[in-house]
Amino acid sequence: MRHSLPLTPQFYVTAPQPCPYLEGRMERKLFTALQGEHAAKLNDALSHQGFRRSQNVLYRPSCADCAACMSARIRVADFRPRRSHRRTLRRNRHLRRRALSPWASEAQYALFRRYLESRHADGGMADMDIFEFAAMIEETPVRSRVIEYSDPEAGSALVAVCLTDVLEDGLSMVYSFFDPERAASSLGTYVILDHVEIAREAGLPHVYLGYWVPGSPKMHYKARFPALEIYHNGAWEELGDPEAWSAESHPLSTPPIAEQVARITLPDIRSAGD
């Protein structure tokens, strides 16, 4: 099934499949290809409207009777770490950060496998081999970095990795993983906190965290970050009380696909000769 606007990227819809966040529901995505000389502009524009990047694709949930998934981002200027966040920062202050070009390594893949086997053994990535992993890291048409965290007290062992896109208004954490044997270190939280600091140093106003889903235990941790905004009904707004948001399903939760596509604001990518 395909929907498109004249002289713009073409949008498609995936076939329904089981939702990874809410049991008993079906997931469907609206997506478009990310390619060509204007890929960065398109990535920026659609990220502002709740889309996420996966390799050469931009996607956004578009489920038939559910609108629970909402893109989330932290406002860097207003972020103040909570007491638990300060403890996490102290526990991990000895770690060393390296920002690298998006190139996969065997050390990254070994850590990725340990992470999946411990946290997501039955997930969609469970069977990903090293070639598919390399594609996830390296197939990017936009400005991306691999942020590695190593422990000099453990022989510079790699303990966490995040694939990060640099947007015009922030950092987008595309995918992160960490050593599951260091659960007490709260490495996942630490990587987010460090990205807030990277964005602050770079003068970027936001850190994009992916989707927050009320009612999903997997996504609950995102609501613990102050200054969190969600993309809801076509606009960014303060999360407020997480318990006030509902994950109830309804057949009128989302408008028709053609209407969703018509509401998307696209960047002006016409060349001077058009």
Q: In terms of domains, do 26 and 136 share one?
A: no
What pLDDT is attached to residue 123? Answer: 62
95-134 burial string, b = 16+ CB within 10 Å, else e?
beeeeeebebbeebbebbbebbeeeeeeeeeeebeeeebb
CATH code of 148's domain: 3.40.630.30
**Both tokens of residue 270?**
């016409």
Q: In terms of domains, do 64 and 140 share one?
A: no
Q: In terms of domains, do 218 and 117 share one?
A: yes
Q: What are phi and psi of 237, to 5 degrees?
A: -145, 160
What pLDDT is attached to residue 5? Answer: 45
Q: In terms of domains, do 137 and 198 share one?
A: yes
Bridge partners, residue 145, by sequence: 164
Is 269 inside any structural domain?
no
What pLDDT is attached to residue 274? Answer: 46
Q: In terms of domains, do 225 and 195 share one?
A: yes
Number of domains in the chain: 2
Mean pLDDT of the chain: 91
Contact assessment for residue 164 and residue 63, using Cβ atoms and an 8 Å cutoff: no
What pLDDT is attached to residue 124? Answer: 66
Tell me the per-residue pLDDT of 22-79, one tens digit each, with 9 for 90 and over. Answer: 989 999 999 999 988 899 999 999 999 999 999 999 999 999 889 899 999 999 999 9
Handedness of CA 169, 161, 58, 220 (dihedral sign): negative
Is 272 inside any structural domain?
no
> Nearest Cα to 105, choosing from 144, 133, 145, 142?
133
Residue range(s) defining the domain that contains residue 207: 73-244
Q: In terms of domains, do 116 and 78 share one?
A: yes
Of 15-29, 125-139, 179-193, 238-252, the range with the lowest mean pLDDT is 238-252
Q: In terms of domains, do 224 and 258 share one?
A: no
Q: In terms of domains, do 239 and 109 share one?
A: yes
Q: In terms of domains, do 35 and 106 share one?
A: no
Q: In terms of domains, do 79 and 156 share one?
A: yes
Q: In terms of domains, do 164 and 112 share one?
A: yes
